Structure 1
Amino acid sequence: MSNNNNVLTLSAPLSGPVLALGNVPDEVFASGAMGDGLAIDPLNDCLQAPCDGVIIHVARTGHALTIRADNGAEVLMHVGIDTVELNGEGFALLVKEGARVSEGQPLVQFDLDRIARQCKSLVSLIILTNSERFELQPIASKTVKVGEALMRIAVRTSASVQTAVDNSAAEVAACVRITHRGGLHARPAALIRKTAQGFSSQSQLHFGDKSAACDSLIGLMGLGIGEGDEVRVSCRGKDCEAALQALVAALSVAVHEEHHAPVVATTPRWANTEANVLQGVCAAPGLVCGPLFRLAGIELPEDTGTHNVDEQLQRLDAALEQVRGEIRNTLDHARRRKNVEEEEIFAAHLALLEDPALLDAATAAIEQGSAATHAWRDAIQAQCAVLLALGKPLFAERANDLRDLQQRVLRALLGEAWHFELPAGAIVSAHELTPSDLLQLSAQRAAGICMAEGGATSHVAILARGKGLPCLVALGSEVLDVPQGQRVVLDAANGRLELAPSDARHAEVHQIRETQKLRRQQQQAQAQQPAHTTDGVSIEVAANVASSAEAQVAFDNGADGVGLLRTEFLFVDRRTAPDEQEQRQAYQAVLDAMGDKSVIIRTIDVGGDKQLDYLPLPVEANPVLGLRGIRMAQVRPELLDQQLRALLQVSPLARCRILLPMVSEVDELLQIRQRLDELCVELELTQRPELGVMIEVPAAALMAEQLARHADFLSIGTNDLSQYTLAMDRDHAGLAARVDALHPALLRLIAQTCIGAAKHGRWVGVCGALASDPLATPVLVGLGVSELSVSPPQIGEIKDRVRHLDAAQCRQLSLELLDLSSAKAVRQACQHHWPLS
């Protein structure tokens, strides 16, 4: 090592070929998120000190350590990729944290063969973690031997004035491509903001020639970053390394804007020649008739400009706190009902209310003499203008969230409650409704919603679907000219608002609705009874739930059991994993809610697009093809062990069945079964719970017979099985309508699964969305499925459907469907053979 004129030469800590950082098979390292550096593919088994210095950090598992050179450069050495998973096995640390070491001194001895066999890669990293202060100049080109010159580190001119190591001024940066559906709009921006607030470092996002602080939601949205755009994120401060890594991960995670948005074929209004009909876009299906009620926004009088500044600031603070309290109540209610979509929407609203850009603008206007009402309105309008000017539909829709907060805070400032009563059965029209409007209208039993503007992926649309409230958007300004109280028909599924329905049409709509209502009542009355086909085949209709509260709803709705308990609800939105006791109590509560019925509990299914704050994972190019389900459990076995222990302590154990997600080969099942047996011995249990496998990937369906030999039951997750079989992302707005689980290819996999299971006397259930589709019920029964796990409100409907079927006929006709050409053809055939009355 030479250290002349602030230039430090690092010697190679390992022997082997040298790689540029961008060629490292790990996105976090390759992106420069950890800092600048090089990599070596090692040919020897001992890591040596690249310079004189002090060991300032040693990884608990021995696979990585950091040395601080005498000039302040901090060099991280990381042996292999994903070697943390070895949990220290195969590594022998030769130094301790705090030790002074000399160049060439052995630091870590490691088992080269073991790492090569068990880890992602042997490639080892030499990273300059405070590279904002130093410039890195590679010396070695292709291959290097231990002790040879590897790279030079020169103090940057701008940093040379710093004689001491000043971590508070450290800055790191990385480039990342945005994978959020639709770009960086409200909800992803809220995630970035939340991530940035977890660190003391100041973080900024740079896009083109614009920058924004990561803790400003509006600033982030105002950058106009679209899906696929490349951005640069920079962090300055003591914990900048950690902040950068977290922000890179947050920017790369795919947060899906819409899980269930119907893809609607829209007809332009000018193409509609039918008199007295306005054509719009379906945001939530349904058919209703009733008087139209126009909802107007708050209009403010002209501002006099003579105000006491302190008084106006206090009024604004009080109004903001009142609205924050209202939103927190909404959030708590949504969390209790496990309504994730509603929770995400209003969490973003709460974040907007705390946004510095918005609050500073309103405060500045008040200090210049504006009334609190006008200052708030103007601050919101200015930010809306920024979003609308970006010319992107999703950002225009997100401006609606700001207008929601404008109305709510103005109401609080003016002391106005929800000051009107809806006529009975009213269909509400407005220029554009806000999420809080929608919740209020739903509580007042509005029959339907129609808007001049808006979109099918808006927050209002998401909430309307969740409430079962028919909703049309993008009807145009003509809808605002319809006289107050005029009788209309809203046919949302077909995108029609009929302005002059005849008495006969009105009567027809009433009759259709009455028939549907009567049928629902009859189905509900029979929901507690078992479901048998006309020729005596018993079909269990269970429920998909995510909490004990949902299990209680399912039980009340007549569920024959829980076909899928998603345990992720226990693990998300928290800083640490739930402990064994908390998990056991939660699982026991679900069992208790279900009386004497069985409960199938799926082990934790995170990874991919479902990330946990306390379980940092590498950014993945294809999350749905990455560390998901049982693969995650193999990487973090302690999480699964803890969960299995909790499950084995519920009572009675005979009613608990365990389901493993994302299994793709028999060995995965055998490993978990062996671990389950070991834990039963540890806990001195003589009884073993049933262990089932989810059929979510084509490989599992094709191996169903082999899996059934060792599993107690199989459960088909048609949502993932569809997207993996058809190679289409089910959350892709342009493809969602084509990801249809009634595709003949899917039906063939379901048939093969049932045949394979039957050879070993195992039963097959379906817990994906297809089980809740009444059109699919006869097909699934015909192919050999004996359990359908559906959303709790549909239990009565699906049981009723089963009771009208002849299982033998279903078997015969279902086999014919396997030879059809498309999902559309299958649906047409189903409608013909088993019409939905």
Structure 2
Amino acid sequence: MHNNNKDLTLSAPLSGPVLTLAKVPDPVFASGAMGDGIAIDPLNNTLHAPCAGVVVHVARTGHAVTLRADNGAELLLHLGLDTVELQGEGFSILVKEGTRVSNGQALLRFDLDQVAQGCKSLVSLLILTNSEDFQVLPITLKSVKVGEPLLHIVPKTIHNAQAEVDSSGAEVHGHIRISHRGGLHARPAALIRQTAHQFNSKSQLHFAGKSASCDSLIGLMGLGIGEQDEVQVSCKGVDAKAALQALLNALSSAVNDHSLAAAPTPIAQRTRTAEAGMLNGVCAAPGLVGGPLFQLAAIHLPEDTGNANAEEQLQALDRALERVRSEIRETLSHAKKHKYTEEEQIFAAHLALLEDPALLEAALQSIDQGSAATHAWSQSIEVQCEVLQNLGNPLLAERANDLRDLKQRVLRALLGQDWHYDVPAGAIVAAHELTPSDLLQLSQQGVAGLCMAEGGATSHVAILARGKGLPCLVALGSSLLNQPQGQSVVLNADGGRLELTPNSQRLEQVAQAQREHLQRRERQHAQAHNPAHTRDGLRIEVAANVASSAEAADALKGGADGVGLLRTEFLFVDRQTAPDEQEQRQAYQAVLDAMGDKSVIIRTIDVGGDKQLDYLPLPAEANPVLGLRGIRMAQVRPELLDQQLRALLQVSPLQRCRILLPMVSEVDELLHIRQRLDALCAELALTQRPELGVMIEVPAAALLAEQLAEHADFLSIGTNDLSQYTLAMDRDHAGLAARVDALHPALLRLIAHTCAGAAKHQRWVGVCGALASDPLATPVLIGLGISELSVSPPQVGEIKERVRQLDAADCRRFSATLLNLSSAAAVRHACHQQWPLS
């Protein structure tokens, strides 16, 4: 019998820094879908029992153990993230299921180095899987040693779970209302599948008289469950109750899905017909382009004889699937590296679909019956696509396109065809429905635009097209596919139409607009290496914001006068330990080398707030954006900044390296770092000192600019953070982001105050925030006293050209009047009137 009224204190199962679940770099754990708990970044190599109890589950791959404490609390101890993929390598389980363990008893050992190299993160979890019965109260959020008190587990007096255990205790049931936007489509289904996989129990969803295993993405989507629909959940097995609660949590925890930003395209809109030389559709990505229409043909399979060698076909399918998995992993890695979040989410779902048992079993069954692997795979996909399309849910019908993407990719691998379309650059591609993989490849080939007979504005392809800046129309209807190959068309995505019979005048009009755009870009690029002087002779430095030596090399080719901001976070993220001094020095030196004889401004590490590191757990904060950010990190981890400063002091030549301090809000912070810099220079026997600058990104720093400039060599304004701190609006807030405009008069006053204060000490001021890249703002910034603009590398030529069109004296006179306006909108209107963009 379990005493469910008894409090329980859990001791630390590992030694190391403690993290809240919110800081765990895994969406399922961080969201609480598995249950409440805590995380530890381990420094030892043995996992210990946090209390006395019975081992109710040991993961097949040895990376996790579930205990049931004497009071009924069920505790999942999960070593590392994505460690299941190690298939047990590096783990030694020391206990068996059903055995009783004492508090502190060793449960499993692991090879710290081997596991760390092979998994996403060593961060390990202690999760209360039956959170419906108990409450978790952390005792500490600091570093702990094995055996030290970590959590209190307190029974709840009121149960909010809807689960009921049957008389045998072997199967449990629950019901929940779906809160995922758009219902149970690909991403939420992937979450459910991922959650179910953490348990031994067999789990099913039941809806409208149909059932599906939680193992199968296709099966789950095939139930046609919509938002706010109520579903039944059943779980059967040794850890059924824990599995049920985790699934109920996952089903009721909405997933952020950017693909739902626009309303789904009604199916009725997909039956468009050509009228007066025009096809009407739905804009998926804006733009106006003209060019030859190129019809993209699908793969046609030869006839299936039905007597293929099953063993050979199975091997061929296995090879093809592994090849496609490898390609998708490469795409995922690239997307993660470049922070293409939406692209990463889309292809992560594709990877999950490739492992879906419903798809694979259907294909294997056909192969066993004599079908060729190509036909077996194709038929398996089409059956599931038909299920999704017949549900009457437009969103799920669009998700069938992701399955067709996988069909095409695997077929190409099976047929030995290189995945390459012979599409001429500048063409407007027409297809029944493009896939995300198609779009990535076509964008690399320089196509001008995309149009589809099917698809919707919420599809994954639409998301990617917007990200690539490719004009795209969807839902044009089957008439699109009847248009002749190579005919000249105008794709007016903004107007939602494809012009099939544009006359020569219209084609010339569109072509002229394209030519002017291209010529402007070419002219800017050709002159980008020349200095940028205003008409009355004021030199403005136009530098580039970069995050690596490769980006620095591109910036130099693009005409940048230097690096105005090197974000050093690129060295610290996506890893389990901080880079050492040698690695940092080499990285900074590579950027200096890439910039020839130009100067490089290197910002010290700026983490905290929305930028967290796995190996650098920070205390839990109610508002991290107002917490330990930027230079404030030196308060809690001074050795991290010292190491970075040492690395910076060893680059050559040191006079080309300038150091920039983020999030400074008072003079003492600057003086403290200058003293540390002097001490480190003495330690390294250096007589030379690099220039030391301060970022102006909080109002306090702008208001103290004169005092800061007395001790700093230069100031650099970060308009992104300065905007959100001045306006008290989170720049990532969906409802407020559009109003976080750095051309707000209050911001302009702070910029003017900063420049005036710096001028009293003959210090220069730059801008490295997004405002520097806005050509409308260029004359305003020059007028307020800015002498350096650090922009995104592709915009160096554009901003330099803008500078050359201006008269600095005029900029000063007019900018002074902007300070008295009432809003950002008023400032923008006045700028358009005074300095129209060409």
Fold agreement, TM-score > 0.5: yes
Spell out the pairing of 1:411-810 with structure 2 (5 A cutoff).
411-417=412-418, 421-423=422-424, 425-454=426-455, 459-461=460-462, 463-464=464-465, 467-475=468-476, 479-492=480-493, 495-616=496-617, 624=625, 628-631=629-632, 634-666=635-667, 668-726=669-727, 728-731=729-732, 736-810=737-811
The residue identity in structure 2 corresponding to 1:562 is V
Does the CA contact (< 8 Å) of 1:546 and 1:567 recur in 2?
A: yes
Q: Distance in 2 between matches of 1:515 and 1:133?
A: 63
Spell out the pairing of 1:173-572 with structure 2 (5 A cutoff).
257=258, 276-278=277-279, 283-298=284-299, 306-327=307-328, 330=331, 346=347, 349-355=350-356, 358-367=359-368, 370-381=371-382, 399-417=400-418, 421-423=422-424, 425-454=426-455, 459-461=460-462, 463-464=464-465, 467-475=468-476, 479-492=480-493, 495-572=496-573
Does the CA contact (< 8 Å) of 2:658 and 2:693 recur in 1?
A: yes
Shift of 1:397: 5.5
Q: Distance in 1 between matches of 2:204 and 2:605?
A: 36
Q: Distance in 2 between matches of 1:132 and 1:507?
A: 68
- State the Cα deviation string for residues 69-99 of structure 1 (Å, max 9, x = none): 5999599xxxxxxxxxxxxxxxxxxxxxxxx
Secondary structure in 2 matching 1:497? strand
Q: Alpha carbons of 1:471 and 1:36: their partners in 2 closer, same or farther (altered >3 Å)?
A: closer
- State the Cα deviation string for residues 777-828 of structure 1 (Å, max 9, x = none): 1122122222111121211111111011101111222232334444444333
- State the Cα deviation string for residues 479-500 of structure 1 (Å, max 9, x = none): 4454433321224455553333
- State the Cα deviation string for residues 460-510 of structure 1 (Å, max 9, x = none): 445445655433445555544544333212244555533332211211222
Q: Alpha carbons of 1:435 and 1:728: their partners in 2 closer, same or farther (altered >3 Å)?
A: farther
Shift of 1:427: 0.8
In the alignment, structure 1 residue 814 sits paired with structure 2 residue 815: yes
Secondary structure in 2 matching 1:535? coil
Q: Distance in 2 between matches of 1:405 and 1:626?
A: 45
Shift of 1:548: 0.7
Does the CA contact (< 8 Å) of 1:254 and 1:609 recur in 2?
A: no
Shift of 1:562: 0.9
The residue identity in structure 1 corresponding to 2:430 is S
The residue identity in structure 2 corresponding to 1:291 is P
Deviates more, 1:540-549 or 1:399-408: 399-408
Shift of 1:532: 0.9
Shift of 1:376: 2.7
Deviates more, 1:685-694 or 1:289-298: 685-694
The residue identity in structure 1 corresponding to 2:542 is V
The residue identity in structure 1 corresponding to 2:532 is A
- State the Cα deviation string for residues 111-150 of structure 1 (Å, max 9, x = none): xxxxxxxxxxxxxxxx997786998799xxxxxxxxxx99
- State the Cα deviation string for residues 565-597 of structure 1 (Å, max 9, x = none): 222222333333322222221111011100111
The residue identity in structure 1 corresponding to 2:774 is D
Secondary structure in 2 matching 1:489? strand
Q: Distance in 1 between matches of 2:188 and 2:640?
A: 27
Q: Distance in 2 between matches of 1:73 and 1:538?
A: 72
Secondary structure in 2 matching 1:757? helix
Does the CA contact (< 8 Å) of 1:587 and 1:647 recur in 2?
A: yes
Shift of 1:277: 4.8
Shift of 1:318: 1.8
Deviates more, 1:647-656 or 1:469-478: 469-478
The residue identity in structure 2 corresponding to 1:758 is A
Structure 2 match to 1:109: none
Structure 2 match to 1:826: 827
Q: Distance in 1 between matches of 2:567 and 2:671?
A: 22
The percent of aligned pairs where both chains have the same amino acid is 69
CA RMSD of aligned residues (A): 6.0
Does the CA contact (< 8 Å) of 2:35 and 2:129 recur in 1?
A: no
Q: Distance in 2 between matches of 1:379 and 1:298?
A: 16
Gapped regions of structure 1 (runs ≥ 5): 14-23, 38-56, 76-99, 103-126, 139-148, 163-168
Does the CA contact (< 8 Å) of 1:288 and 1:470 recur in 2?
A: yes
Shift of 1:542: 0.7
Q: Distance in 2 between matches of 1:319 and 1:290?
A: 36
Q: Distance in 2 between matches of 1:749 and 1:205?
A: 58
Structure 2 match to 1:112: none
Q: Distance in 2 between matches of 1:715 and 1:231?
A: 57
Q: Distance in 1 between matches of 2:737 and 2:132?
A: 49
Does the CA contact (< 8 Å) of 2:205 and 2:213 recur in 1?
A: no
Q: Alpha carbons of 1:516 and 1:8: their partners in 2 closer, same or farther (altered >3 Å)?
A: closer
Spell out the pairing of 1:32-181 with structure 2 (5 A cutoff).
68=51, 73=69
Shift of 1:203: 10
Q: Alpha carbons of 1:441 and 1:830: their partners in 2 closer, same or farther (altered >3 Å)?
A: same
Does the CA contact (< 8 Å) of 2:271 and 2:476 recur in 1?
A: no
The residue identity in structure 1 corresponding to 2:693 is G
Q: Alpha carbons of 1:645 and 1:449: their partners in 2 closer, same or farther (altered >3 Å)?
A: same
Q: Distance in 1 between matches of 2:450 and 2:513?
A: 19
Does the CA contact (< 8 Å) of 2:272 and 2:281 recur in 1?
A: no
Q: Distance in 2 between matches of 1:535 and 1:680?
A: 42
Q: Alpha carbons of 1:302 and 1:253: their partners in 2 closer, same or farther (altered >3 Å)?
A: same
The residue identity in structure 1 corresponding to 2:436 is P
Q: Distance in 2 between matches of 1:182 and 1:536?
A: 58
Does the CA contact (< 8 Å) of 1:337 and 1:549 recur in 2?
A: no
Secondary structure in 2 matching 1:525? helix
The residue identity in structure 1 corresponding to 2:434 is L
Shift of 1:531: 0.7
Q: Distance in 2 between matches of 1:625 and 1:206?
A: 44
The residue identity in structure 2 corresponding to 1:592 is D
Does the CA contact (< 8 Å) of 1:309 and 1:366 recur in 2?
A: yes
Q: Distance in 2 between matches of 1:586 and 1:26?
A: 27
Q: Distance in 2 between matches of 1:516 and 1:703?
A: 43
- State the Cα deviation string for residues 525-557 of structure 1 (Å, max 9, x = none): 221111111111111111111211111111111
Secondary structure in 1 matching 2:806? coil
Give me the TM-score of the superposition, normalised by structure 1.
Answer: 0.69
Secondary structure in 1 matching 2:652? coil
